[in-house]
Amino acid sequence: MSMKLDPNIFRAYDIRGTVGESITPETVSTIARGYGTLLARGGEPTVVLGRDLRPSSEELSAAAAEALRQTGCNVIDLGQVPIPLVYFAAGRWGCDGGVGITASHKPVQFNGMKLRQGDAPYYGEQLQDLYDFCEAGEFAEGAGSYSERDVFDEYFETVQPKFTGDCGLRICLDPGNGCGTFTAPRILAEMGCELDVIFDEPDGTFPNRSPDPLEPGALVALAERVVATGADLGMAIDADGDRLAVVDHEGTMIYPDKYVLPVCGAMLAKGPQTFVSEVRCSQTTIDYVRERGGDVALASCGYPYILAEMGRLGAPLGFETTGHVFFADPDVKYDDAAFCAAQMAEALGGLGETLREVIDSAPAYYTSEELRLECPDDVKQQIVADVIEQFRADHEMNDVDGARISFEGGWGLIRASNTGEELVMRFEGNTEAARDRIAEDVTSAVQDAMSAHGIG
Which residues are tagged catalytic? 16, 104, 324
Q: What is the DSSP string of 393-414?
A: TT--EE-SSSEEEEETTEEEEE
Q: Quick one: which of 382, 341, 376, 370 has its CA closest to 443? A: 370
DSSP 105-136: TS-TTEEEEEEEETTEE--THHHHHHHHHHHH
Q: What are phi and psi of 291, to 5 degrees?
A: -65, -20
Beta carbons within 10 angstroms of residue 375's beta carbon = 24
Q: What is the dihedral of CA 305, 175, 286, 366, to 10 degrees?
A: 120
- Contact between residue 26 and residue 62 where contact means Cβ atoms under 8 Å apart: no
- What are the φ and ψ backbone dihedral angles of 324, each rounded to 5 degrees? -90, 125
d(CA 337, CA 245): 9
What does the alpha-carbon distance between residue 244 and residue 181 come to, in Å, rounded to a whole number?
13
CA distance 218 to 223: 10
**Whole-angstrom Cα distance, residue 134 to residue 128?**
10
**Collapsed DSSP state (helix, strand, coil) of residue 230:** coil
Q: How far is CA 343 from CA 139, 270, 407, in A?
A: 43, 15, 34
Q: Is 360 helix (H, G, I), strand (E, B) or coil?
A: helix
Taking alpha carbons only, the member of 287, 292, 291, 249 closest to residue 270 is 292
Listed residue (149, 154, 175) closest to 79, CA to CA: 149
Cα–Cα nearest to 47, from 94, 79, 14: 94
Q: Give dist(CA 363, CA 343) in Å, integer.
A: 23
